Amino acid sequence: MEMTRDRYETLITNAEIQARVDAIASEITTCYSGTVPIMMPLLRGAFVFAADLARKLDLDVEVDFLGASSYGGATETSGEIRMTLDSSSPLSGRHVLIVEDIVDTGLTLGYIQKLIRSRGVASLRTAVLLDKQCRRKSQVDIDWAGFTIPDRFVFGYGLDGPGGLFRNLPDIMALPAE
């Protein structure tokens, strides 16, 4: 069966996303004024959000990447966190900005935040595109959130969808509501 975009519902348009990215970038620029933070997107889902955000920051920023997964190939978290890529930068004394695509249960982000804090950072802040608060199982610190979303499987704008497809869609899409 062919997967096509018209089978899915648009939850957040790219225009809405870009307006929110602009606002978050402005706040981050103010927050980190006078410093050179290290932006650490979590791969793979945050790559589009992080790229748009980085280009809109009005400050110097270093970029490194982290990879962690609790989903495997499923649409719901397994609860078991697996690091797929660790930072190659020394973090002691640095101002770190984690960039995440979506916070669901909070287990993955909580794990990453604890790991980064253990490395002696000067500060740690987090920007997330999507916050699915209704599923939270672990307390996490979120400094900037793009959108609060309902308990739906979402994809597009960097997040993978059915069959690992649709990361390239400009909007945030969802499976049809049941």
- Residue 112: Cβ within 10 Å count: 22
173 in any annotated domain: no
CA distance 61 to 173: 30
Domain-embedded: residue 176: no
Residue 24 lies in a domain: yes
Does residue 166 lie within any of the structural domains?
Answer: no
> Which residues does the chain have with pLDDT short of 50?
1-2
pLDDT at position 7 is: 80
Count of domains for the chain: 1
pTM comes to 0.89
Q: What is the extent of the structural domain holding 31?
A: 8-71+82-161
What local confidence, expressed as pLDDT, does residue 175 receive?
86
In the set 52, 101, 104, 171, the catalytic residue is 104
Tokens of 57: 């920051």
**Is 20 within a domain?**
yes
115 part of a folded domain: yes
The CATH number of the domain holding residue 15 is 3.40.50.2020
Pairing state of beta strands 9-12 and 172-174? Answer: antiparallel
164 Rama class: left (phi>0) / alpha (psi -120 to 50) / beta = left
Task: Give dist(CA 175, CA 178) in Å, integer.
Answer: 9
- pLDDT tens digits, one per residue of 92-143: 999 999 999 999 999 999 999 999 999 999 999 999 999 999 989 989 999 9
Paired residues of 97 in beta bridges:
39, 125
- Please confirm, yes or no, whether 6 is among the known catalytic residues: no
Domain-located, residue 27: yes
